Amino acid sequence: MHQINQPMMLADLLESQLSRPATTRERFRLPFSKEDTVRVLLAGVKAEVERRDKTFIMREAIMSQAGQIAEWLTGNHSKFGLMLCGGCGNGKTTFVKAFQQILNKLDMKIDDSTERYSIRIVNARDLARVCKEDYDERRGLCYKRMLAIDDFGTEPLEVMDYGNVLYPITELLTTRYDRHLFTILTTNLTPSEIRPRYGDRIADRLNDMMGKVIFANSTYRTP
């Protein structure tokens, strides 16, 4: 009788364990209200613009973009990535750099450790070089807690390394998707252009992990 019940008891145990909610890393959120996050984002954008010896002008588009980004940074939702989409020179990278400066100023500890929150910004084109030349850096980017990839879509889809075909952006995004790692992309691609370029597998993962903010305004860069 004991031998008959043992598989049943094991099945009950497995069912109980599998029914428990999975333990996942809590998504990062700024410790502010949405309204206060808009304020600090705009202050950061203004500082970035003035750092380039330009004059910051508050525009309706900037207010809208700041509001959407602030919602993502403070909201109670499952998206652990953010994609900023739009044409050249319309403020996407400036917002990412503003967020980077906010983190640097906050000097927030990660849990109870001595490590602080920070975000690395890397240009997508540099990923091809890193993928080919520096395995340790490539692995570090894949697993970095917070990462921003600027100009997503400008990188080669594959690179050759002594006869081996490597897929820099595909491998990196797959790893970050699987581990629910905080990731920001800026891109000139429209959402409809991503699937033909990267295929269903990456497009579906990006849809699942990424909130989207569309930068529909024209370039701020003047001749």
In a domain, 14, yes or no: no
Boundaries of domain holding 149: 78-215
In a domain, 65, yes or no: no
In a domain, 21, yes or no: no
In a domain, 36, yes or no: no
In a domain, 12, yes or no: no
In a domain, 97, yes or no: yes
Structural domain tally of the chain?
1
In a domain, 175, yes or no: yes
Per-residue pLDDT of the chain (223 residues; tens, 9 = 90+): 445 456 667 777 777 767 765 545 678 999 999 999 999 999 999 999 999 999 999 999 999 999 999 999 999 888 999 999 999 989 999 999 999 999 999 999 988 788 899 999 999 999 888 887 888 998 999 999 999 999 999 998 888 777 778 788 898 999 999 999 999 999 999 888 999 999 999 999 999 999 999 999 888 876 5
Determine the residue type at 91.
G
CATH number for the domain spanning 170: value is 3.40.50.300
CA 83 – CA 123 distance, rounded (Å): 14
In a domain, 160, yes or no: yes
Output the pLDDT for position 8: 65
The stretches of 54-212 forming alpha helices (DSSP H) are 60-74, 92-106, 124-133, 135-143, 168-178, 191-209
